[in-house]
A and B are shown apart, each in its own frame.
Chain A
Amino acid sequence: MSEAPQLKILITEDNIADCLIINKLVKDQGYQTIVAHNGLEAIDLFVKEKPDIILMDALMPKMDGFEAAKRIKLLIGDDFVPIIFLTSLNDDVSLVSCLEAGGDDFLSKPYNSIVIAAKIQAFKRMVILHRTVQTQRDEITRRNEYLLQEQKIAKKVFDNVAHLGCLGASNIKHLLSPMSVFNGDVLLASRKPSGGMIVFLGDFTGHGLPAAIGAMPVAEIFYDLVAKGFGIEKIIYEINQKLNTILPIGFFCCASIVDINYSWERIKLWNGGLLDILLKKNNGSVRPFKSLHLPLGILSTKEFNAECVEYDMKVGERVYLFSDGIVDLKDSEEKEFSLNGFADYLLKSDDSDEVFLHILEQEKLSFERNMSNIDDVTFVEIKMISEDVISNKHRLVQNSDLRGARDWSMSFEMFNQTIRDFNPIPLMLHITMEVPELRIFNNDVCMVLSELITNGIDHGLLGLDSQLKNSANGFQQYYNLRNERLNNLSGESLHISLRHLPDATGGVLVIRVVDTGEGFDFRAIDLDIPKASQMSGRGIPLLTRLCESIVYEGNGNAAEAVYRWEKTQDNNLL
Chain B
Amino acid sequence: MNFEHLNETQINELALMLGDEFPEFVRTFISHSGELISSLKKQLYTNDNDAFVINIHSLKGSCRNIGAEQLANNCLQIEVVARNDTIAVIDPELMSICEEFNTLKVTLLKLARI
Binding site for B on A (CB under 8 A): 14-18, 20-21, 24-25, 28, 59-61, 88-89, 109-111, 113
Contacts and interface: CB of A to CB of B under 8 A. Distances in A.
B57 A88 contact: yes
Secondary structure at the B interface, as helix, strand, loop or mixed, is helix
Interface string B26-59: 0011001100000000000000000101100111
B18, B57, B61: which has the most chain A beta carbons within 10 Å? B61
Interface string B16-27: 011001000100
Contacts of A28: 17
B60 A88 contact: yes
A20, A25, A89: which has the most chain B beta carbons within 10 Å? A20
A20 B25 contact: yes
23 contacts: A15-B58, A15-B59, A15-B61, A15-B62, A17-B28, A17-B32, A17-B33, A18-B62, A21-B14, A21-B17, A21-B65, A24-B18, A24-B21, A25-B17, A59-B53, A59-B57, A88-B60, A88-B61, A110-B64, A110-B65, A110-B66, A113-B13, A113-B17
B53 to A, nearest CB: 8
Nearest to B14: A21
B10 interface: yes
Nearest to B19: A24
A77 to B, nearest CB: 31
Contacts of A25: 17
B95 to A, nearest CB: 22
Given A21-B65, A61-B54, 17 more contacts: A15-B62, A16-B32, A17-B25, A17-B62, A18-B61, A21-B17, A24-B18, A59-B53, A59-B58, A61-B51, A88-B57, A88-B61, A89-B57, A109-B61, A110-B67, A111-B65, A113-B13
A24 B67 CA distance: 17
Interface of B: 10, 13-14, 17-18, 21, 25, 28-29, 32-33, 51, 53-54, 57-62, 64-67
A15 B64 contact: no
Among all A-B residue pairs, the 4 with the closest Cβ atoms: A17-B29, A88-B61, A16-B32, A17-B62
Given A59-B54, A59-B57, A61-B51, A18 B17 contact: no
Contacts of B13: 113
A113 B64 CA distance: 14
Contact of B10 (A20, A24, A61, A110): A110
A497 B33 CA distance: 119
A89 B54 CA distance: 12
A324 to B, nearest CB: 72
A15 B32 contact: yes
Contacts of B18: 20-21, 24
Contacts of A14: 54, 58
B74 to A, nearest CB: 15
Contacts of A89: 57
Contacts of A17: 25, 28-29, 32-33, 62, 65-66
Nearest to B30: A17
A37 to B, nearest CB: 11
A257 to B, nearest CB: 85
Contacts of A21: 14, 17-18, 25, 65
Nearest to A88: B61
Given A24-B17, A61-B51, A109 B64 contact: yes
Nearest to B35: A16
A110 B61 CA distance: 7
Contacts of A16: 28, 32
Contacts of A60: 54
